[in-house]
């Protein structure tokens, strides 16, 4: 068993994506290769942050959460969790090695910015939640790496029901930029197969101006029922960040390990 830097672990409802509202337990890893201007986990971006935890102990923590709280959904997040593929593999392998519990129906999600190859982690993950960054993130997003990752998932046999894409937007204009062409080109292997595409207003907008946030959601919802390149190829879901609306701060949640 190895050690890995973890910022925090906490139980909360899943605030984003098509498992929104689902009680989940999160492991937030340290380190990220991007620096999105609207990042709400800046504290998780350095590889030296958090504490070094042994992977076996993390797995034990997840196991005891499942037994004590009944939570079956586990989320590897960050930062960028794919900085730590070996550690994630060890955690899940150790978790599943505890076969003394009858048919544990645990489900693992990974939340990634889509710039790393999935490597061996691929066989352990039930849901790949992939969030490439549009120009509003103000980063030079490497679309070629995203394309490479999507292709790798396809080659590993990851099916449409195991993938969701998520775009954080500040305005409708973000969906009219050349980035969208790059996004559509890279995601071709998963077109027209009912993969969810989450359109998610930037949570910072809610903090600054709630009416503007609701107006943007309304515009996205109106746009979602029209035929266009995104709606032709994906199951669009216009969703908020529920934890932002509910003002749930994961850092205030109960520490579990
Ligand atoms: S990819 Fe995620 S963790 Fe990294 S800087 Fe962007 S928002 Fe923050």
Nearest-atom index, ligand 1, CA of 139: 6
Probe residue for ligand 1, chosen from 80, 115, 169, 241 as the CB with the greatest number of ligand atoms within 8 Å: 80
Is the predicted pLDDT of residue 8 greater than 70, yes or no? yes
* Nearest partner of 17 among 163, 157, 216, judged by Cα: 163
Probe residue for ligand 1, chosen from 8, 79, 111 as the CB with the greatest number of ligand atoms within 8 Å: 79
Torsional sign, CA 116, 47, 87, 197: negative
* Nearest partner of 5 among 125, 70, 86, judged by Cα: 86
pLDDT value, residue 257: 38
Q: What is the pLDDT of residues 28-77, one digit of tens each?
A: 999 999 999 999 999 999 999 999 999 999 999 999 999 999 999 999 99
- Other beta carbons less than 10 A from residue 138's beta carbon: 12
pLDDT value, residue 250: 56
Residue whose Cα lies nearest atom 8 of ligand 1: it is 39
| Global model pTM greater than 0.85 | yes
pLDDT value, residue 253: 45
Element at 119 (helix H, strand E): none
Number of structural domains (the chain) is 1
pLDDT (average), residues 83-104: 85
Is the predicted pLDDT of residue 199 greater than 60, yes or no? yes
What CATH number is given to the structural domain containing 161?
A: 3.20.20.70
Is the predicted pLDDT of residue 254 greater than 60, yes or no? no
| Structural domain containing residue 242 | 3-256
Cβ atoms of 35 and 78 closer than 8 Å? no
């Amino acid at each position: 068993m190895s050690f890995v830097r973890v910022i925090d672990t906490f139980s909360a409802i899943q605030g984003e994506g098509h498992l929104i509202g689902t009680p989940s337990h999160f492991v937030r890893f340290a380190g990220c290769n991007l620096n999105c201007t609207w990042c709400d986990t800046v504290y998780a971006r350095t590889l030296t942050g958090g504490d070094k935890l042994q992977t076996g102990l993390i797995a034990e923590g997840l196991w005891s959460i499942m037994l004590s709280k009944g939570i079956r959904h586990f989320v590897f997040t960050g930062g960028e969790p794919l900085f730590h593929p070996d550690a994630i593999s060890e955690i899940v392998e150790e978790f599943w090695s505890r076969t003394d519990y009858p048919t544990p129906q645990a489900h693992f999600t990974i939340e990634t910015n889509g710039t790393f190859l999935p490597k061996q982690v691929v066989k352990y993950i039930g849901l790949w939640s992939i969030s490439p960054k549009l120009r509003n993130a103000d980063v030079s997003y490497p679309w070629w790496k995203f394309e490479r990752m999507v292709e790798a998932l396809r080659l590993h046999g990851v099916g449409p029901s195991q993938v969701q894409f998520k775009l954080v937007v500040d305005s409708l204009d973000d969906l009219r930029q050349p980035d969208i062409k790059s996004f559509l080109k890279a995601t071709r292997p998963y077109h027209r197969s009912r993969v969810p595409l989450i359109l998610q207003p930037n949570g910072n907008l809610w903090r600054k101006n709630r009416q503007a946030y609701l107006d943007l959601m309304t515009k996205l919802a109106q746009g979602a029922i029209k035929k266009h390149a995104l709606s032709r190829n994906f199951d669009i879901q216009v969703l908020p960040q529920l934890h932002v609306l509910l003002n749930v701060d994961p850092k205030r949640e109960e520490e579990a390990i």
